Structure formats: C-alpha cells, structure tokens
Homo-oligomer: A and B are copies of this chain.
Amino acid sequence: MKSVSSCIELDTGRGISLHDLMADIRDAVAGSGIRNGFVTVTSQHTTTAITINEHETRLIEDVKAFLARLIPPGDRYLHNDIQLRDCPPDEPENAHSHLASMLLGSSEVISLVNGDLVLGQYQSVMLVELDGPRQRKVSVQVYGE
C-alpha cells in the first residue's frame, strides 16, 4: 500500500463560488502511479467545504441563492462581534460561512479502480468557497497500489 500526499492551491471567487477539482485530482492520481485504492479530499479551511455534485453553471447559481436564503449573511450572529473576540481587526464577519461549511462537510472519499475514480457521469468533486475571494488549499491523498 502506497500513500501519496498532495495539495491543490487555488484562488477563489467572491462570496460563494464552486470550483471543480477534477483535473487536479486526476493529475494527483496519475502522478501517484497508484491504480487501485482510494482518494481522500479534505478542505483545509473553516469557511470552505468539499462537495461532490454536478458542476453546472445554473446549478451553481442555485447553490449560492439557496445558501444565502438558508443562512442569511445579514442575520445576527455572535461570532460576528469581532470586537468581543481575540482576533485580528481585519477578521471578516463570516459566521454564515462557517455554518454553511459545517452543513456541507469538509471531506469526501472516492474509490479508485483500474486507474479511474469511481464516480458517476455527472459527479465532480468541488471546493465550495463560502467567504471568498481567498487563496485556498485542499489536501488530496491517494492510497493503494
């Protein structure tokens, strides 16, 4: 059993944006030389998430609208009282981003069989930026033989 660790770095869009990671993940798999095993994808931030779904332009707009309705950024959140917390003065008011991150989840695991990720036709692994724009990192590990 081999294990190859890598990191995807990307610059994200403003507010909420969804970034297709498939090309980077396939590169990581190809570079690992591993053909059977699995891949773990874990976000390294508390205001991003990892999701597997269809990377379709109009659906992405639906995700943004849905999250803004479900967890309105303008609602009252205690975490947004920056002056009451021990943090830098440029800390953003992003409690809604943390809450969305928890709902969407920070990791997914995908099987790898004969060099291919076991995913359906429309499935893409995506980073969900919830408080952009930022520079973000996603941990990708490939395990197997």
User: Could you tell me which A residues sit within 8 Å of B by CB distance?
Assistant: 1, 3, 5, 36-38, 40, 42-46, 51-54, 56, 58-59, 61-63, 66, 70-71, 77-79, 81, 84-85, 95, 98-99, 101-111, 113, 118-120, 122-123, 128, 137, 139, 141, 143-145
Contact = CB atoms under 8 A, between A and B. Distances in A.
Given A46-B122, A58-B79, A62-B78, A110 B107 contact: yes
Nearest to A84: B58
Contacts of A139: 110-111, 118
A79 B99 contact: no
Contacts of A113: 5
A64 B46 CA distance: 17
Contact of A5 (B63, B78, B102, B118): B118
Contacts of A36: 3, 5
